[in-house]
Amino acid sequence: MSLETDSFILSTSKHIRKIKRESLASNEEMVKKVNTARTISLEKLKAESLRRKRKLNYIQEVEPPYLRNYRNRFFKTHDLHERLEIIRELSKYDSKEVRKFFYAINGHIRNQSLKIEVQLYFQSLSLPFRLSRKKKGKKNFIDNEIIKNKKGPDELKKRLYINDLEKIKRFDIFVSHNSRDEEKIIEFYKKFNKKGQVVYIDWINDKYDLRREWCNASTVDIIKERIKQSDVFVLYFSGETLNSQWCTWELGYADALGKKICVYFSEEINRKGIPKFYVAYPELQMSKNIYVKIKGNEDILLEEWKKL
């Protein structure tokens, strides 16, 4: 046989020869291979679990008060871009009714792009989900249209002034904070969720449009509107707060609007060096319940304080 023929036989038979070699491997070699494969699989599962846990950090475990309005609009409108905005807005929340709504979307609409958005939501929650098949019959170009909406502070600002879905949004709490406290803020806002409180945090509620690198003049107007849409303004005071220009500005704007304001002091803070005007506001305290300490050191539940 020629050299070319030998090379051809060797290259085409490599998989068969590999299987044959493995079948002749000793027990020790087989155990080693099995253990290596198991270790790799466990590492992949651990990494996937961490990714999903991080995603859950940015989903509020509470039902938004405007769910019904958004759900009704979704099935009334034929605008695919508006439908995408509704899906993306409600995907920031996890509740029984939100899940029920998303399962209904999967079974009732034809556009695959929107169905995939729903699929991503359930995958982030590690919930069972089966993407429904494409409908039989005559195909419409809308079925396969890929929906992409414009992003950025300028686009969100336009929607805030002309889109009635943006205008009906309401939040129980607006949390003013330094972005460097992100990990602490996640743990902080989850405590509000457990009490049924919907919280506004820019990098969670407006994550598609308010990225740090996109910050501009429109960002200021957006934050103003979100403060107006919130019942209570909470300042999360940490060692990083004094380094933030946003926190001081947001506090001043909320005060000018006459919003109910309270300050939460993180445990590691030394209060002696804190400017007096921060201490002048009622203090938020968290234990099993959420309290507000008002003048005279009287503690009152947050829900009752909101009604005063």
What distances in angstroms separate CA 37 from CA 14, 15, 31, 34, 43, one per listed residue? 21, 19, 10, 5, 10
pLDDT of 135: 62
pLDDT of 139: 60
Residue 7 domain-assigned (yes or no): no
Shared domain for 122 and 213, answered yes or no, is no
Shared domain for 170 and 289, answered yes or no, is yes
Token pair of 84, please?
Answer: 């995408």
Shared domain for 224 and 90, answered yes or no, is no
Residue 36 CA to residue 32 CA, distance in Å, equals 6
pLDDT of 295: 77
Residue 257 domain-assigned (yes or no): yes
Range of the structural domain that residue 125 is part of? 58-132+142-149
pLDDT of 53: 76
> Which of 266, 274, 89 minimizes the C-alpha distance to 175?
266
Shared domain for 192 and 89, answered yes or no, is no
Residue 103 domain-assigned (yes or no): yes
Shared domain for 107 and 181, answered yes or no, is no
pLDDT of 30: 75
Shared domain for 179 and 86, answered yes or no, is no
β-pairing verdict for 260-265 and 230-237: parallel
Sorted by sequence, the CB contacts under 8 Å of residue 142 that are 6+ apart come out as 80, 110, 111
> Which of 291, 184, 196 minimizes the C-alpha distance to 236?
184
Sorted by sequence, the CB contacts under 8 Å of residue 157 that are 6+ apart come out as 218, 221, 222
Shared domain for 52 and 160, answered yes or no, is no
Shared domain for 107 and 203, answered yes or no, is no
What are the residue ranges of helices labelled H in the chain? 3-12, 14-23, 27-56, 67-76, 80-90, 96-108, 112-124, 153-162, 164-167, 182-194, 202-205, 217-228, 245-257, 276-279, 302-307
State which residues of the chain have pLDDT below 50: none
Shared domain for 208 and 164, answered yes or no, is yes
Give the number of domains in the chain.
3
Q: 168: phi > 0 → left, psi -120 to 50 → alpha, else beta; which?
A: alpha
